[in-house]
Amino acid sequence: MSTEQVLRPGTGQDPGAGRHFEDFAVGQRFTSAYRPVTAADLADFTRISGDDHPLHAGPDGILQGPFGVAIAMGLLQSLGLHGPAVLGLLDTHWSYRHPLRVGDEVRLELVIIRCRRTRRGDRGVVTRHMTLVGRDGTVVQEGTTSAMVAARNAGPDPVAPDPVHRAFGTVSWGEALVERLAPGFAESLATWDGTIGLRAGEHEVHLRIYRGRVIEVSRRAATGATFTVEADELTWLELVTAPANEFTRFAMTGRFGTRGDGYEYLRLTAALHLLVDAARDLGTQHPAGERA
């Protein structure tokens, strides 16, 4: 099993041990060993699920879609990420990209895309993007799952588990972006009055701008956003950690979308690139105590 990890010094954690909330950080990546899909798997899952559609019959049968979710959770367990500190699974959003057949081999590739400590402080929510990948690199199934994970203590965190630099779409992240904007941002919007929305998954922040100055950062501007730029958390993570500013390519290939006034979105392309530059400057920083 190969594992790409970012571990915090002094936690006493190893790849096979159960992890607490403090042991997770946005951007961590983990990869499991390959798992073969056998005829016995097909027979057992058909018996358990009761789904005996002809597609699932015979030695070359296609496995039922939920089988992929089931083995993904098993491979997650093999990585030591679902130990006693996990208090429950909160949600799963899943997509089926290609059939999974008897004889295939797949592995789990996992990225931590959001960490949030609860108000009680003794636990937190960890969201993972999970991908089942075949030997040839084909993405068979993928999706996100969120789990409630116990914390070792109630905080405050000496090293934030969801550092502001990757808490995409939150007000704290938006405020940090504003602090890092280059002077050219104000110059490019010197005569503009409106609101830019930035959305990551279910989290959205609005930047209210008047004549080049950001006068408010909030979850929702009073009059709504002039336009909103949106993508999932994994896309934001890949954007801020890419070697160069890939916003245009991501937008052209549909990885970023927009809502609202499309004309204003196109007119403000230069300002948006400067916003992404600030997000990249923020997102590539390592918090104290983190190591690659």
Q: Express each pLDDT in 116-156 by its tens digit.
A: 888 888 899 999 999 999 999 999 999 999 999 999 887 66
Distance CA 157, CA 167 (A): 15
Give the closest residue to 94 by CA, choosing from 124, 65, 114, 71.
Answer: 65
Q: Look at the block and give the residue holding tokens 């899909």.
A: 37
Structural domains of the chain, ranges and CATH numbers in brackets? 21-162 (3.10.129.10), 165-283 (3.30.1050.10)
Over residues 205-261, the pLDDT tens digits come to: 999 999 999 999 999 988 899 999 999 999 999 999 999 999 999 999 999 999 999
Give the closest residue to 151 by CA, choosing from 122, 120, 118.
Answer: 122
For residues 116 and 125, the answer to whether their CB atoms sit within 8 Å is yes
- What is the value of pTM for the model shown? 0.84
What's the average model confidence in pLDDT over 171-196?
A: 94
Residue burial 239-264, b: 16+ Cβ < 10 Å; e: rest = bbeeeebbbeebbeeebbebebeeee
For residues 160 and 286, the answer to whether their CB atoms sit within 8 Å is no
Over residues 82-95, the pLDDT tens digits come to: 788 888 989 999 99
Q: Does residue 160 register a pLDDT over 80?
A: no
